[in-house]
Amino acid sequence: MAFTDMSISLSGLLGFLTYFVTAMVLLYVFARIYDKFTPYREFDLISEGNTAAACSFCGALLGFAIPLASAIIHSAALLDMIIWAIITFVVQLLTFIAVRKIFPTIVADIPANQVSKGIFLGFTSLIVGILNAACIS
């Protein structure tokens, strides 16, 4: 491969790194704030082997990451992607609030490892995230 060919193939590396690192930071921030937003600590529960917490938290992470990926694809600039990430973040918090309205005991059920409630919350977060991603254009 000639040097010029290699420089062409690496021309998007800075853009990739900028978006990837920003997305990873946003995902980390989302995970930390979501963990604090819920009345129970997902990280602690998952460390203790709580399957319900793992299902609900992974669904929320996917429900955030999928629209974040869509925002990366459709954004005209980095700031545009960050704005969509904030919107996606709010949508996921509202999803938790909505599920809590449906199952008011979910704040006790997840720590009690009621897996069906964890799966429901996780899949609801994922479904909302997929719809959110489709709406980003």
For Cα atoms 134, 136, 137, give the angle at the middle one, nearest 5 degrees. 105
What is the model's pTM? 0.90
Cα separation of 136 and 71, whole Å? 6
Answer whether 26's CB lies under 8 Å from 75's CB. Answer: no
Cα separation of 15 and 109, whole Å? 43
Q: What three-state secondary structure class fits 133?
A: helix
pLDDT at 129: 98
In the predicted structure, residue 4 carries a pLDDT above the cut 90: no
pLDDT band at 11 (very low <50, low <70, confident <90, very high): confident
Cα separation of 116 and 43, whole Å? 19
pLDDT at 17: 95
In the predicted structure, residue 8 carries a pLDDT above the cut 70: no
Cα separation of 112 and 55, whole Å? 13
Give the tens place of pLDDT for each residue, 23-69. Answer: 999 999 999 999 999 999 999 999 999 999 999 999 999 999 999 99
Burial of 105 (0-12, 13-18, 19+ CB in 10 A): exposed
Which amino acid would we find at residue 95? T
Give the tens place of pLDDT for each residue, 62-98. Answer: 999 999 999 999 998 999 999 999 999 999 999 999 9
